[in-house]
Amino acid sequence: MEQKEQVQGCSGPRIEGGPCLQDDCMPSSIGAEDFAWDPTMASCCIEDLKNQRKGEAIRQKLLAVDPTRSRAPVIHSSMPSVLQEALAPGSAQTAALEAAAGEGEGHSEDEELAALRERRKGELRQRMQQHSRAQALGYGQLNDVTGAQLMERLESSSGCSVCHCAVEGFEPSNQLDQHLEALAHQHQGTLFMRTLVGHKSPLRAQLSLPSVPALVCFRNGAVVGRTGLLTFGPPDEVLEELVVDYLKRLGVLRQPGGAKQSPASRAAPGGMMSSGSEDDEEGRGDQESWKNPPCEVCGRCYPHEHVKAIYREHHSSDEEGSNFD
């Protein structure tokens, strides 16, 4: 078999019995005999070589009849010599223009990305500061306070507050605490508090509590609703959906930056601002919705019926049945 000419002194990679695999050493026209040293490669590559040669032959025929190739010399010759030199692919002017364009585009993109990055950092920094201030004021969590601390906060309050007047060791009170803790994280524009109240506590008379434990809602330091735990389900259970519905009806669930933002967040230093006109209009609307006298038992101002007697009757009947057993 005729050997193909290779570069003298070549030290490129080669397979035993075959030609050098470097591009400079590969023959200009590769045939089937070049793969005789590797039958596996010959079986899979000869067909590819044939297809490549057919494609190249078709491309050359199309280039021969391509009208744009005949127009290009005429257009180039009609240009001034200075313009021809400037537009030449390897000219200094072309290289300078390409470099300047690439540098300008990259510089402007870098500046825009840097500005967006700094603005995003500023927003995150401001949000973290607002969150820290809100946590310092007790927002986002259920705060344990005494009766005196509760009245002191209400005197200086200008937003929405919810207080659970709890009885220690009472299971429904523990369930309500869990629900209020979750709501405090979800509605960080409302201040959630918890205080222990006994049957003879002066706080019960100050807040006109119908019974204890109870849930009391405030707006701008004034009571807008008070109710016992029987409003939220049977005597031994507090249902979260009933708690949420009750607080929504009173309009005391607020977000720091939401549509129903509490005025307390506006008073917090350094962030969570809201417009005074929106708060005034909202306050007037809430006052109009609470013109009806509150219920002596639960504080609700719309027509309703208490089922407390039904629960007690059912509970007592169960006890009587168990005694007969």
* CATH number of the domain enclosing 206: 3.40.30.10
Q: Is the dihedral of CA 126, 132, 135, 141 positive or negative?
A: positive
From residue 296, how far is each of 98, 171, 228, 306, 308 by CA, in Å? 83, 25, 11, 11, 14
User: What pLDDT tens digit does each residue of the chain (325 aa) get?
Assistant: 444 444 444 554 554 555 554 444 544 456 666 666 667 766 667 777 778 888 888 988 888 888 877 777 767 666 666 555 555 655 666 666 666 666 555 567 788 888 888 888 888 887 777 777 666 677 888 888 888 888 888 887 778 889 999 988 889 899 999 999 999 888 888 889 999 988 788 888 888 888 889 999 998 888 899 999 988 988 888 999 999 999 999 988 988 754 454 333 333 333 333 444 444 444 444 444 445 667 777 766 666 666 544 444 444 445 555 444 4
Domain assignment present for residue 14? The answer is no
A 10 A CB-CB count for 284 gives 10
Domain assignment present for residue 9? The answer is no
Domain assignment present for residue 150? The answer is yes
Amino acid at 50: K
Lookup: tokens for 234: 């049977």
Identify the H or E element spanning 144: strand 142-144
Enclosing domain of residue 240: 142-324
Domain assignment present for residue 276? The answer is yes
Q: Burial of 163 by CB count in 10 Å (0-12 exposed, 13-18 middle, 19+ buried)?
A: buried
From residue 266, how far is each of 5, 92, 125, 256 by CA, in Å? 87, 63, 19, 9
Domain assignment present for residue 191? The answer is yes
Count: domains in the chain: 1
Alpha-carbon distance of 149 to 155, in angstroms, equals 10
What b/e sequence results for 249-279 when a residue is b if at least 16 CB atoms lie within 10 Å of its CB, and e otherwise? ebbbbbbbeeebbbbbbbebeebbebeeeeb
Alpha-carbon distance of 18 to 141, in angstroms, equals 78
pTM of the entire structure?
0.44
Domain assignment present for residue 32? The answer is no
Domain assignment present for residue 56? The answer is no
